[in-house]
Amino acid sequence: MSQVLSGVRVLDFGRFIAGPYCAALLADFGADVIRIEKREGGEDRYIAPICESGAGGMFMQMNRNKRGMTLDPMSEDGAAIVRKLVASADIVVANLPPDTLRAMKLDYDSLTAVKPDIILVTASAFGAVGPYRDRVGFDSIGQAMSGAAYMTGQPGQPVRAVAPYVDFGTAFGMAFGALIALMDRARTGKGQIVEGALLRTAVNMMGSTLIEQAAIQINRTPTGNRGQTSAPSDILPTKDGHVLVAVTGQPIYKRWVKLMGDEDYWLNDPKFANDLARGDNAALISARLAAWLAERTTDEAIAALAQARIPAAPVLTPQEVLEDPHLRETGYLQPVDFPGMAQAALLPQPPMVLSRTPGEIRSRAPLNGEHTDQILRSIGVDEAEIARLREARAI
């Protein structure tokens, strides 16, 4: 199978999600990605452990297809190894604050002194400029500061999303930027900085709400699961669970009305004339849908809604997601063996599918320092020097 990024070497100094997942996407399509961790392993390795070595599911997902080595880049010996690695690389990924990048000599000036055409792909909570540039943060910081957490909850009770969409959105943007930078370097011979920021990603995802606020100062307040610019758009109970229904646009709304009945009222009353009017009167529409759902099981409701071609889905538990027949038939969750686990970990494959050069999960995430010696030998470090570096606790 063709691996379109074969021959591209990536140094991954990232942690948690944004940087490591960016590098994982590049690895999925053939890049040689080297995950570089502290001697004791990065803190993200051990979050929510699920195997004997202490590695967690997040680490397994973020670091598939990578080789792993340990290194203390702040030591004199470690800094020398970083320079050798950079000289062999095309891309450096590091989702670290600007001051930390400078301290580790991973800032762009330090990197280009070693490899003039290097591409630095970096992300931080707030970006490299502005009064918050040196603050640290996680996905939820972006959710809170973009208006998303405020609009997601009920009045007086903001709620963050459990899924770290800000981190993943930043990772996708970083990977996209890295590919653009590679294309530009092929034409010009020059590298550049690709910079992501959690706050920018989160604000981008809240863009339409913020554009509306700036234009007409509407000052929307949260309405829980109920949508505000169309209806019905809500999560409501059935006899045995919950269902999400999302109706936007007149054609789908007309199909929903036909399913509910009483077409004269729902089609001709001015309160329901268009999406915005229906959003303003969403409580009335949700009440009608709630009554319909309350008479049916989840399976019965989904079958009827699907037959009417109305977007709808059951609200699944994590276990129910694993058992979902569509995901099982597509094979999207790939079993990957990991040392110390009685059964294989189920890893989501790359979410984009290319017809000729698809990405693939070829290997599990590395054990801590699993490929240190192999990688050092590949940059010209001999066995005696490897032993000395280990004795000096640089690796």
Same structural domain, 301 and 340: no
Same structural domain, 29 and 109: yes
Q: Is residue 306 part of a domain?
A: yes
State the pLDDT at residue 1: 55
Q: Give 320's contacts (C-beta < 8 A, 6+ positions apart).
A: 314
Orientation angle between helical segments 198-205 and 207-216, nearest 10 degrees: 70
State the pLDDT at residue 96: 86
Angstrom distance (rounded) from CA 312 to CA 259: 13
Last residue of a domain, one of 314, 338, 362: 314
Euclidean distance between the first and final Cα of the chain, in Å? 35
Q: Is residue 182 part of a domain?
A: yes
Same structural domain, 185 and 261: no
Same structural domain, 17 and 158: yes
Three-class DSSP category at 237: strand
Same structural domain, 88 and 172: yes
DSSP 246: E
Same structural domain, 147 and 289: no
Q: How many domains does the chain have?
A: 2
Same structural domain, 189 and 114: yes
Q: Is residue 222 part of a domain?
A: no
- Supply the Cα-derived Rg of the chain in whole angstroms: 25
Quick check: bond before 232 cis, omega within 30?
yes
Same structural domain, 123 and 260: no
Last residue of a domain, one of 279, 314, 349: 314
What's 72's domain CATH number?
A: 3.40.50.10540
Q: Is residue 233 part of a domain?
A: no
Decide: residue 86, CB within 10 A, 0-12 exposed, 13-18 middle, 19+ buried. buried
Q: Is residue 320 part of a domain?
A: no
Structural domain containing residue 278: 242-314
Residue 216 is encoded by which pair of tokens?
A: 């007409």
Residue 334 is encoded by which pair of tokens?
A: 């790939």
Same structural domain, 284 and 342: no
Q: Is residue 230 part of a domain?
A: no
Same structural domain, 360 and 289: no
Q: Is residue 53 part of a domain?
A: yes
Q: Is residue 232 part of a domain?
A: no
Angstrom distance (rounded) from CA 332 to CA 326: 9
10-residue stretch averages of pLDDT, the chain, 395 residues long: 90 97 98 97 96 96 98 96 98 91 95 98 95 94 98 96 98 98 98 98 98 98 97 98 98 98 95 97 98 98 98 98 97 97 96 95 98 98 98 97
Same structural domain, 290 and 379: no
Question: Sign of torsion, CA 150 152 155 158?
Answer: negative
Same structural domain, 112 and 176: yes
